Homo-oligomer: A and B are copies of this chain.
Amino acid sequence: MRIVIIGAGAAGLTLASNIRENDDETEIVIFTKSEDIAYSPCAIPLVLGGCIESFDDIIMHDVNYYLEKNINIHLSTTVTGVDSSNKKITFEKGSNSESMTYDKLVIAAGSELIVPEFEIDNMDNIFSLTNISDGRLIQESIKDKKEIVFISNMSIGIESAYELARNGYDVTFLEQSFGILPLFLDEEMSGKLVELNKGVTFETNADITKITTDGAKKEIHYNGKSISADVIILPSNKVPSTSLAIQAGCEIGDFGAVKINEYLETNVEDIYAIGDCVEVKSHITGTQTLSPAGTTAVRQAMVLANNFLGNKMTFDPVVNTVVSKVGDYNYACSGITESFANMIEMPVVSECIETCQKARYYPQNNKLYIKMICRPDGTIVGCQMLSDGDLSSRIDVLSFIITDNLKCEELIQKEFSYTPSLTMVVNPTVQAALEIMKKIEK
């Protein structure tokens, strides 16, 4: 039995390790275009900012680590074709072209950058920022530079912007949308995050038309004006990588990603798909959505490994729970935003509160901002948080609340811990729910 995995990101590697942990027999072969594996892309900003010394430090394992576990990884290798009727793939490494048969094929091909719509006269000092080689290029390139402009980036870009500003760079962030992180934060919350965090200059609703070059300087033209830069980081908008899946005959869904069932099977026999390249079901809307997060990839890999090992499991619908550290503040969200609810014409009630992380009288106390979004019957469907304290577990609680379909009034019954130096006696999440209840009762 041979399992072939296309892609060595969180999805592919977790799958391989989880199978091997319980099964010495199955042959596992992984193909990846990349030279680097087993690193956390989320840690790239921390290296750029100097908080972690080198990109090597965020690489957890090399190919030999996997080879010792009898997992064979082909680096810098492009899978060029999938022949699902003969259960065979073809691949190219350098100028060599080879083929290999599979018993089971797992497409964990990830996602790829969208080419920006604006014109660029030449690509000198212009970079993308999605993987470790981008990070290395940027780190090298900015050494003797001063002005850096980021365009419409997601977490990794915004985190990097603040990290570089902290290190003395002049950093501007041009956001093409109504606010930063529009998939995670509604306008008032993304505005608040920008207001709280000093160091980076933001402009939203930037309609960028072109980037021109004048000697060593770049010029970004937008909204009838322009800004100059030494280095530009392009938008990180991505789309699922589906070309091999399409070639294999896999169905593609409305979001342009591979369609899978709850067992992570595609419509083609013995072909599975996990990670950024697939569509998943939203717990809230019940319809398909994307969930391009390392945590989703890891959970899908764990479920698929269990299925291969004979412990049949299903992959549950997602709520997309996210946390990130941006400058001195953290943001976190789970469920849907109000702007998304409006877009799909789903009626919601929302409330923003400003409260405290710790007891009000605690001297090192810090503000906590919460926006909660509910259906008209009080069922909690989304939450966004901002603070300079650790929000990771605070939003995890919301992840459970939303997955459990809890109503605001049911939150009163839920047990939260309390000590004045860490949190409030009436948990901030409950406070937000109580405020929403007042609105609903009206």
Contact = CB atoms under 8 A, between A and B. Distances in A.
B397 A46 contact: no
B363 A415 contact: no
A349 B275 CA distance: 33
B60 A361 contact: yes
B404 A400 contact: yes
Contacts of A109: none
Given A414-B400, A415-B319, A422 B361 contact: no
B332 A417 contact: yes
A417 B46 contact: no
A30 interface: no
Copies in the complex: 2
Nearest to A295: B418
Contact of A399 (B42, B296, B389, B417): B417
A77 interface: no
Interface string A343-364: 0000000000000000111110
Nearest to A318: B415
A52 interface: yes
A46 B324 contact: no
Interface stretch (A111-119, A144-152, A297-305): A297-305
Interface residues of A, number: 69
Given A323-B423, A359-B43, A363-B51, A396 B417 contact: yes
Contacts of A313: 409, 412-413
Interface in A394-442: 394-397, 399-401, 403-404, 409, 412-423, 425-427
Interface of A: 10, 40, 42-43, 46, 51-52, 57-58, 60, 155, 293-296, 298-299, 302-303, 306, 313, 315-316, 318-325, 330, 332, 334, 359-363, 389-397, 399-401, 403-404, 409, 412-423, 425-427
13 contacts: A51-B363, A52-B363, A323-B422, A325-B419, A325-B421, A390-B390, A392-B417, A392-B423, A393-B393, A393-B423, A396-B397, A396-B416, A396-B427
